[in-house]
Structure 1
Amino acid sequence: MMKKLLMLVVLIFPLISSAQIIYETVSSAKMQETREIKVQLPRNYEENKEKYYPVVLVLDGDYLFEPVAGIVDYYSYWENIPEMIIVGVNQAGSRNEDSSYDNERFLPSDEGAEFFEFLGMELLKTIDQKYRTAPFQIIVGHDLTANFLNYYLLKPEPVFEGYINLSPDLAPEMANRITSVLSKTESKRWYYLATGSEDIPQLKEGILSLDNQIAALDNDLLSYKFDNFKDASHYSLVGRAIPSAIESIFDVFGPISQKEYNEVLLQTSISPSEYLIQKYESIEKLFGLEKQIRLNDFLAIHQAIEKTRRWEEYDELSKLANDHFPGTMLSTYFEARYEEETGNPKKAMRTYQNAYGQQKIAFLDVDFMLEKANAIKRDFGY
């Protein structure tokens, strides 16, 4: 397992080195001291002046920052998740104090209360003021800090939408508190929980109990995932949990998958073009991100229409393609296919011919489009 974790580090290190990492010292009035943070900005952050990014706050940043930053950079490179700003808080030598809670109410106390306010009231505000942040935030922690991050979930208006718990060392009453809040949440929340077969026994017992409680909840606004990794220790599970957590949170963001294609788009009760529209509307609503529809997603819808022979779907798809890829042959091709399959061959032929002078895209070029026009001409003797 350690070999797998080492391989993960080897794979992501070059990605980290290609992204922009900033080392900063942040002053805290709450703690009356300074804290060191690391910030990874997305690739081409400076060039994309109009683009805004979700924020991932990584506790235990002295050792968790690099794995999280590397995975985010890698997945976002392939557009499976959005690009994000990663903020790591170094806690070497202070994590016990930072994570402290009292023995009566089991809520942050002393240094823990100060650190809680520093993160929620000072650090996040500083990041928002300095960088272009989208209104979507995730927090990540491991054992003590994984327990600590849940205190933000207990606030009347939580500042984080996503909570990644890596083998949390749960405080007394924490499991009941988490379950109660998640059962009643009126805003979308993502909650991830992980342990491993070789995790610390007393931690694993509490984690499995918490999983049973959350799994029994019935709340459509809760997106929950639990992993119990085989042969994973308290430390090695981290390398497997981070990508699993990130994928689960941004499941809807990624390109149309083979599963979506087979189980959704090929069902004749579903409008493929409407599904595409709703997918991207969900991305904007959930993550506060406006995103151009991917070319590959247009092609997936095209394939589904060809497979199901629902030719009327091409009409709406053509209009959508014109909005997202204007000046290319994509919209023209979909319009021509609509006319061709709904009984208007002459109009289809002329539409194919209209592609001359437009930009080629995907498999569509002038030769392809003119050949489609000539085939109709031959078949119908025009």
Structure 2
Amino acid sequence: MIKKLLLMVIFLISGFIYSQTQYKRINSSKLKQEREIKIQLPRNYDENTEKIYPVIIVLDGDYLFEPMAGNVDYYSYWDEIPEAIVVGVNQAQTRVMDSFYDNQTFLPSDTGANFFEFLGMELLPYIDSNYRTSRFSVLAGHDLTANFINYYLFKDEPLFKAYINLSPELAPEMENWLVESLNTAQSKKWFYLATATNDEPSLKEGSELLDQQLKMIDNANLHYKFEVFQNATHYSLVAQALPKALESIFSPYRPINQKDYDTEIVNSGISPYDYLIDKYETIENNYGLELPVRLNDFLAIGKALEFNQRWYDLEKLGELAIDHLPDTMLGTYYLARSYEESGRSKKAMRTYQNAYGQQEIAFITTDFMLKKAEKIKEDFGY
């Protein structure tokens, strides 16, 4: 276990060598001062000039930026989440003033109101103007700042889609406001809440009471996740919660795995092809990302279609593979298999033969395809 943790730490540290971290000072008219921010750009950001990225803004950037940036770099390296632009807002000397709310209205006031406007009216537009961003943005905070990020949910059209609450120090009425806002949300929202068994008692109790209310909400637009980390403290829970939060928010993005295959695809009764189309439409609708279908996902869906003998859908998968991987044999193979199993043997033979000169891919080789064609020729005497 220790060796695995050490390897992960080494990987996270080395990831910063390949990712790009920038340190900037933004002159804010709302705050009437400069603010320090850190920006980690994805690997190969400069080379991928057409690619756009979600934005993750991290309050308490003095200590939350590095663990968030490291996790984003690590998980996106393995394509478990999309690559993202991570922005840390340093608040070492200002977090109490930045999180200030009125003692009567319990809403951001004075320095808190100014900071609220800085994030929404200055920082986020600055990132959108200077970097290639998608329409999906995440906001994360810890105790005081975790409470603060939730105020954005009370706007008619919230600027942020996802909220990571790490042991929030909830203001009075915040629980009721959150329940009302998330219960009536008209667009998709992601809300992650975490505490720990050894968290500050009042914060743990507040999080658990909030969870009791939020888990009762019946709103298809709300994606809610609550976790209590065993034996963790108010500070150590951060290291465990950040990867879980990212997994929860971006779960539809990840490639199809064995669990998905067994429970949602091959034995579900729905068409695996429809599952694939819906998956990539969900990625685009949720995160604003037009993602090419991964080879892994093609292979999983193709296997399921063959297992369930859905030959017409396999033909559609072949056409889709030709669109996404036009120079490879993948689409040709799926088309030929669908023709072969649906009684169009001569067309299948010719399609297998058409693979000659195309790029080999996965298990599909030139020799494999020509042998399939030859077998049909022998069987039917063509």
TM over 0.5: yes
The residue number in structure 2 matching 1:240 is 240
The residue number in structure 1 matching 2:13 is 13
Cα drift, residue 11 of structure 1: 3.9
Whether contact under 8 Å (1:191, 1:224) holds in the other structure is: yes
The residue number in structure 1 matching 2:280 is 280
The residue number in structure 2 matching 1:252 is 252
The 2-side partners of 1:66 and 1:249 are apart by: 19
Say how many residue pairs are matched: 382
Per-residue deviation, residues 315-343 of structure 1 (Å, max 9, x unmatched):
11111111111121111100110111111
Whether contact under 8 Å (2:273, 2:305) holds in the other structure is: no
Task: Summarize the Cα distance change of 1:115–1:320 in structure 2 as closer, same or farther, 3 Å threshold.
Answer: same
The residue number in structure 1 matching 2:168 is 168
Structure 1 ranges of 4+ moved more than 6 A: 1-7
Cα drift, residue 314 of structure 1: 1.1
Task: Summarize the Cα distance change of 1:333–1:170 in structure 2 as closer, same or farther, 3 Å threshold.
Answer: same
| 2:212 is the alignment partner of 1:212 | yes
The residue number in structure 1 matching 2:155 is 155
Whether contact under 8 Å (2:332, 2:354) holds in the other structure is: yes
Whether contact under 8 Å (2:24, 2:36) holds in the other structure is: yes
The residue number in structure 1 matching 2:227 is 227
Letter matched to residue 310 of structure 1: R
Whether contact under 8 Å (1:16, 1:66) holds in the other structure is: no
The residue number in structure 2 matching 1:23 is 23
The 2-side partners of 1:237 and 1:8 are apart by: 17
The 2-side partners of 1:24 and 1:162 are apart by: 25
Per-residue deviation, residues 216-256 of structure 1 (Å, max 9, x unmatched):
00000000000001111111110110011101111111111
Higher mean Cα deviation, 263-272 or 289-298? 263-272
Whether contact under 8 Å (1:339, 1:348) holds in the other structure is: yes
The 2-side partners of 1:264 and 1:371 are apart by: 34
Cα drift, residue 3 of structure 1: 11
Per-residue deviation, residues 56-113 of structure 1 (Å, max 9, x unmatched):
0000001000111111111111111111110000111111111111110111112111
Cα drift, residue 312 of structure 1: 2.1
Letter matched to residue 206 of structure 2: G
Letter matched to residue 277 of structure 2: I
The residue number in structure 1 matching 2:87 is 87
Whether contact under 8 Å (2:266, 2:304) holds in the other structure is: yes
Letter matched to residue 160 of structure 1: F
Per-residue deviation, residues 21-49 of structure 1 (Å, max 9, x unmatched):
00000000011000000000111111111
**Residues 40-51 of structure 1: matches in 2 within 5 Å?**
40-51=40-51
Aligned-residue CA RMSD (Å): 1.7
Using the aligned pairs only, state the percent identity.
Answer: 59
Cα drift, residue 15 of structure 1: 1.2
Q: What SS does structure 2 have at the residue aligned with 1:312?
A: helix
Task: Summarize the Cα distance change of 1:53–1:11 in structure 2 as closer, same or farther, 3 Å threshold.
Answer: same
Higher mean Cα deviation, 210-219 or 262-271? 262-271
Task: Summarize the Cα distance change of 1:239–1:2 in structure 2 as closer, same or farther, 3 Å threshold.
Answer: farther
The 1-side partners of 2:95 and 2:2 are apart by: 24
The 1-side partners of 2:233 and 2:56 are apart by: 24
Q: What SS does structure 2 have at the residue aligned with 1:274?
A: helix
| 2:111 is the alignment partner of 1:111 | yes
**Residues 114-193 of structure 1: matches in 2 within 5 Å?**
114-193=114-193
TM-score normalised over the length of structure 2: 0.97
Q: What SS does structure 2 have at the residue aligned with 1:362?
A: coil
Cα drift, residue 379 of structure 1: 2.8
The residue number in structure 2 matching 1:76 is 76
Letter matched to residue 257 of structure 2: S
Cα drift, residue 16 of structure 1: 2.2
Cα drift, residue 7 of structure 1: 7.3
Cα drift, residue 50 of structure 1: 1.0
The 2-side partners of 1:224 and 1:334 are apart by: 38
Letter matched to residue 276 of structure 2: L
Per-residue deviation, residues 251-271 of structure 1 (Å, max 9, x unmatched):
111111222211221136311
The 2-side partners of 1:244 and 1:186 are apart by: 25
The 2-side partners of 1:8 and 1:187 are apart by: 36
Whether contact under 8 Å (1:135, 1:287) holds in the other structure is: yes
